[in-house]
């Protein structure tokens, strides 16, 4: 039985776990896709979920690069995203409460996100949660993005965690595979993507929300 007292710590993904931004990204891609007549936009956005900018660029280029200016497409999507988020980055339900609770409980917390490090720091500062993290690894700090295990291995090494004694909180297929390959205990809290058989098999446990995860840890542990 794992409790807050006998784990090394917890490493969180960001988008789709802490920030409710994946739905925003999907909406903006669909809007731009309709503008240019792009096919299968939802499929490719889901394929990019959890990956860093380099991999996202490759996937989108392979899908649409023969007919469209990819830099122009991505710039328009980014403009749509920024316009949507101009009032602030939306937090997932329970995110602030859970992170503050873990921080105040003395649990060491890491963040391993495919987003660039400087963007992570800026957004976490804006929502007042930067202080909760003992280490942050951005997608630009590792060579290979999720689903490869590099980012989680790097996070555990920086934090001094034994991966086998560390939870990784993820929402995406790429993230769950990455954390599992790093030897961690993946906690699956689905967002946009309905978990498939492989995700459920690799997950240590699945919850419907961050608050359910907190309640379980408070009551009996995992």
Output the pLDDT for position 33: 95
- For residues 152 and 156, what is the distance between their CA atoms, to the nearest angstrom? 6
Question: Which pLDDT score, from 0 to 100, does residue 193 have?
Answer: 82
The DSSP line for 116-182 is -HHHHHHHHHHTT-GGG-SEEE-GGGSSS-TTSSHHHHHHHHHHT--GGGEEEEE-SHHHHHHHHHT
Nearest in space to 26 (alpha carbons), one of 171, 192, 176, 174: 192
**Is the pLDDT confidence value at 53 over 90?**
no
- Whether the CB-CB separation of 14 and 50 falls below 8 Å is answered with no
Average pLDDT over residues 17-45: 94
pLDDT digits (tens, 9 = 90+) for 29-38: 999 999 999 9
The predicted structure's pLDDT at residue 23: 87
* Confidence band, pLDDT 50/70/90 cuts, at residue 52: confident
Q: What is the pLDDT of residue 28?
A: 93
- Whether pLDDT at 65 is above 90: yes
Q: Is the pLDDT of residue 56 over 90?
A: yes
Give 79's pLDDT tier (boundaries 50, 70, 90).
very high
Question: Residue 76: what pLDDT?
Answer: 95
SS3 184: coil
The per-residue pLDDT of the chain, averaged, comes to 95
pLDDT tens string 129-184: 999 999 999 999 999 999 999 999 999 999 999 999 999 999 999 999 999 999 99
pTM over 0.75: yes
């Amino acid at each position: 039985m794992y409790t807050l007292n006998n784990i090394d710590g917890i490493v969180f993904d960001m988008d789709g776990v802490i920030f409710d931004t994946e739905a925003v990204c999907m909406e903006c891609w669909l809007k731009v896709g309709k503008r240019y007549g792009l096919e299968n936009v939802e499929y490719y956005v889901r394929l990019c979920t959890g990956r860093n900018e380099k991999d996202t660029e490759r996937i989108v280029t392979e899908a649409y690069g023969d007919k469209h200016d990819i830099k122009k497409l991505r710039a328009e999507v980014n403009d749509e995203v920024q316009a949507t988020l101009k009032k602030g980055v939306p937090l997932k339900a329970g995110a602030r409460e859970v992170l503050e609770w873990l921080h105040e409980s003395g649990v060491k917390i890491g963040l391993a996100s495919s987003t660039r490090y400087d963007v992570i720091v800026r957004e976490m500062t804006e929502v007042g949660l930067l202080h909760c993290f003992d280490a942050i690894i951005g997608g630009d700090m590792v060579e290979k993005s999720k689903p490869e295990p590099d980012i989680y291995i790097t996070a555990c090494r920086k934090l001094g965690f034994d991966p086998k004694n560390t939870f990784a909180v993820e929402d995406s297929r790429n993230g769950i595979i990455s954390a599992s390959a790093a030897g961690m205990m993946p906690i699956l809290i689905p967002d946009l993507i309905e978990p498939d058989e492989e995700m459920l098999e690799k997950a240590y446990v699945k919850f419907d929300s961050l608050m359910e995860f907190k309640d379980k840890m408070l009551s009996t542990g995992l």
